[in-house]
């Protein structure tokens, strides 16, 4: 660990130039360097977990248990998973050759891309900056990390700590908002990894196109929960509530709305209310592990959606503290305001549909979701959802869980994004997969 604290990185061209010179030395390609950086990043997270938890509480009112689990612990786990398998992942893989090319050998080799840019959002400001960085470092790249300006305490903590632990000529943190990001996007990168909304995703992709830079876009959208008759509604409600109200609903893969088939629409109401009380008590404002809305703009946006249905539970809100109670709305129609955009807040609409055909048509009539969830006891229903819909992920029985399994690719499709990461998928994203063929002469 270096002990000096270098000046903050501000000049985009100078930062990228410095990282390019480092990459040209090839030192970041060495497996030892990669392991060393990942180990150092792990130490940063464990040495400074208190400081990081304080920053996350400042930015988003995250309780320490949830913040540790979803931000620090999540990233530590991603590092451990990667370190345990990196040698195996980096080993050249022999490839088959057609008879007409024999005798010869062929291999598939992963090589680093160069200098990559990671642009992170505010909702999991630590995880969504550092989990992509794990992949970038594992793949042997130099990286610029641009944290979200809407989580300023976490952004400042990363800008302060990363240079103290990581190779400062290979990893840079550039803080800032639109002007700073725009300046970065004018530079040539070898990959851009963006997490956030689709409008900015288009800006990022347009900027990348000028340099023919590949992009990963981790975007959002409305992730439905299909509720099938015959499922255990009390258990389903508990799991929907856990996934929905995590981080006060500000999770890209949060269940956005319940698509309730037949009489489940009414039958689920008391179970959801009970599950909210069980998780957050009679007054969620006092619950240790219930977060706050990130800022007033989002608070005003989400509270404006409260009139979209009949309130089953919740609705209380306080602008001064940006508190909005976990809220369930029933009898919501598809044309209501809450169904026109990703909610990204603690409001859960129940939308009734008559049958599975209608549920599938509803899903297919809209943008492809980042995640599709379903609670069903029927294998036939599972099969139909798997084969007749498209989404970044499909999870039965436990919303949000797929995100925590590094063996599964994480990413969207269509409007919910392009590309994937976590575990070995991150290594693929941040590597070039090179074909190597060796044919003897004669
Ligand atoms: P945000 O406002 O923090 O923006 C994300 C990043 O884009 C920030 O670093 C910001 O500085 C930068 N940015 C903003 N405007 C820009 C511009 N004009 N030009 C260049 N850069 C700009 O976060 P957000 O977009 O509000 O994040 C919420 C969205 O992100 C939701 O739609 C959510 O679903 C999605 N999301 C997706 C994932 C995922 O993994 N797929 C994870 C988290 C959030």
Per the CB < 8 A criterion, the answer to whether 427 and 141 are in contact is no
- Cα(142) to ligand 1 centroid in Å equals 22
Q: Which residue, 367, 265, 294, 376, is CA-closest to 57?
A: 294
According to the model, what pLDDT value does residue 10 have?
Answer: 74
- Cα(106) to ligand 1 centroid in Å equals 41
Q: Distance between CA atoms of 342 and 298, rounded to whole angstroms? A: 12
Using a 6 Å cutoff on CB, does residue 287 contact ligand 1?
Answer: no
Tokens of 21: 């010179």
Is residue 384 classed exposed, middle or buried when 0-12, 13-18 and 19+ CB atoms within 10 A define those classes?
middle
**Is the whole-model pTM more than 0.90?**
yes
Using a 6 Å cutoff on CB, does residue 125 contact ligand 1?
Answer: no
Nearest C-alpha to atom 10 of ligand 1 is from which residue?
148
Using a 6 Å cutoff on CB, does residue 344 contact ligand 1?
Answer: yes
Residue to mutate, 197, 249, 250, 251, ligand 1, most ligand atoms under 8 Å from C-beta = 197
- Cα(84) to ligand 1 centroid in Å equals 31
Catalytic residue positions, numbered: 218
Sequence-ordered strand ranges (E) for 264-343: 310-313, 317-318, 323-324, 327-330
Using a 6 Å cutoff on CB, does residue 178 contact ligand 1?
Answer: yes
For every one of its 442 residues, what pLDDT tens digit does the chain have, with 9 covering 90 and above?
444 445 667 799 999 999 999 999 999 999 999 999 999 999 999 999 999 999 999 999 999 999 999 999 999 999 999 999 999 999 999 999 999 999 999 999 999 999 999 999 999 999 999 999 999 999 999 999 999 999 999 999 999 999 999 999 999 999 999 999 999 999 999 999 999 999 999 999 999 999 999 999 999 999 999 999 999 999 999 999 999 999 999 999 999 999 999 999 999 999 999 999 999 999 999 998 999 999 999 999 999 999 999 999 999 999 999 999 999 999 999 999 999 999 999 999 999 999 999 999 999 999 999 999 999 999 999 999 999 999 999 999 999 999 999 999 999 999 999 999 999 999 999 999 999 999 999 7
Q: Distance between CA atoms of 434 and 349, rounded to whole angstroms? A: 47
191-195: strand order across its sheet: 171-173, 142-146, 115-119, 191-195, 215-218, 417-418
Q: Which residue, 243, 248, 223, is CA-closest to 298?
A: 248
Q: 343 in helix, strand or coil?
A: coil
Q: Distance between CA atoms of 426 and 176, rounded to whole angstroms? A: 25
Per the CB < 8 A criterion, the answer to whether 427 and 135 are in contact is yes
CB-based contacts of 33: which residues, under 8 Å, 6+ apart?
Answer: 27, 140, 167
According to the model, what pLDDT value does residue 1 have?
Answer: 44
Using a 6 Å cutoff on CB, does residue 156 contact ligand 1?
Answer: no
Structural element, H or E, at residue 146: strand 142-146
The angle subtended at Cα 250 by Cα 246 and Cα 254, nearest 5°, is: 65
Nearest C-alpha to atom 19 of ligand 1 is from which residue?
178
| Structure ipTM over 0.90, yes or no | yes
According to the model, what pLDDT value does residue 9 have?
Answer: 72
What's the residue count for the chain? Answer: 442
According to the model, what pLDDT value does residue 7 have?
Answer: 61
Tokens of 297: 């703009």
One DSSP character per residue, 65-120 reads HHHIIIIIIHHHHHHHHHHHHHHHHHSPEE----GGG-S-EEEEEEEE-SEEEEE-
Nearest C-alpha to atom 14 of ligand 1 is from which residue?
178
* Phi, psi for 175 (deg, rounded to 5): -85, 160
CB-based contacts of 399: which residues, under 8 Å, 6+ apart?
Answer: 223, 225, 239, 240, 242, 243, 244, 253, 254, 255, 371, 373
According to the model, what pLDDT value does residue 6 have?
Answer: 55
Q: Given the CA of residue 410, which atom of ligand 1 is nearest to it?
A: 40
């Amino acid at each position: 660990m270096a002990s000096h604290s270098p000046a903050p990185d501000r000049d985009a061209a100078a930062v990228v130039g410095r990282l390019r010179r480092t990459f040209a030395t090839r030192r970041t390609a060495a497996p030892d360097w990669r392991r060393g950086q990942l180990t150092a990043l792990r130490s940063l997270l464990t040495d400074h977990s208190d400081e990081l938890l304080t920053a996350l509480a400042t930015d988003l009112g995250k309780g320490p248990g949830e913040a540790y689990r979803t931000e620090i612990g999540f990233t530590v786990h991603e590092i451990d998973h990667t370190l345990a398998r990196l040698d195996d992942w980096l080993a050249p893989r022999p490839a088959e050759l057609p008879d007409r090319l024999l005798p010869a050998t062929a291999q598939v080799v992963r090589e680093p891309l160069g200098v990559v840019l990671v642009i992170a959002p505010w909702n999991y400001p630590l995880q969504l900056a550092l989990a992509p960085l794990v992949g970038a470092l594992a793949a042997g790249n130099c990286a610029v990390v641009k944290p979200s300006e809407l989580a300023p305490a976490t952004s400042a903590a990363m800008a302060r700590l990363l240079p103290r632990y990581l190779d400062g000529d290979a990893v840079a943190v550039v803080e800032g908002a639109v002007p700073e990001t725009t300046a970065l996007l004018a530079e040539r990168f070898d990959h851009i990894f963006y997490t956030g909304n689709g409008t900015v995703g288009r800006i990022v992709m347009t900027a990348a196109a000028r340099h023919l830079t590949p992009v990963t876009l981790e975007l959002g959208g409305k992730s439905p929960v299909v509720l099938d008759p015959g499922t255990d509604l009390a258990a389903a409600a508990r799991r929907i509530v856990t996934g929905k109200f995590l981080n006060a609903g500000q999770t890209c893969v949060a269940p956005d709305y319940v698509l309730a088939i037949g009489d489940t629409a009414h039958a689920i109401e008391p179970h959801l209310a009970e599950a909210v009380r069980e998780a957050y008590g009679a007054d969620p404002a006092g619950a240790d592990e219930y977060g706050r809305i990130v800022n007033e703009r989002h608070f005003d946006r989400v509270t404006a959606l409260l009139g979209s249905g009949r309130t089953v539970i919740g609705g209380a809100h306080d602008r001064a503290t940006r508190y909005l109670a976990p809220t369930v709305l029933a009898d919501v129609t598809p044309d209501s305001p809450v169904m026109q955009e990703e909610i990204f807040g603690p409001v859960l609409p129940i939308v009734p549909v008559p049958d599975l055909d209608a549920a599938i048509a509803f899903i297919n009539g809209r943008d492809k979701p980042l995640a599709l969830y379903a609670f069903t006891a029927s294998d036939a229903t599972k099969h139909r959802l798997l084969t007749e819909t498209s989404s970044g992920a499909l999870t039965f029985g436990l919303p949000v869980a797929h995100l925590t399994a590094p063996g599964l690719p994480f990413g969207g499709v269509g409007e919910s994004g392009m590309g994937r990461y976590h575990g070995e998928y991150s290594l693929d994203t941040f590597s070039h997969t090179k074909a190597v063929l060796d044919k003897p002469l004669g």
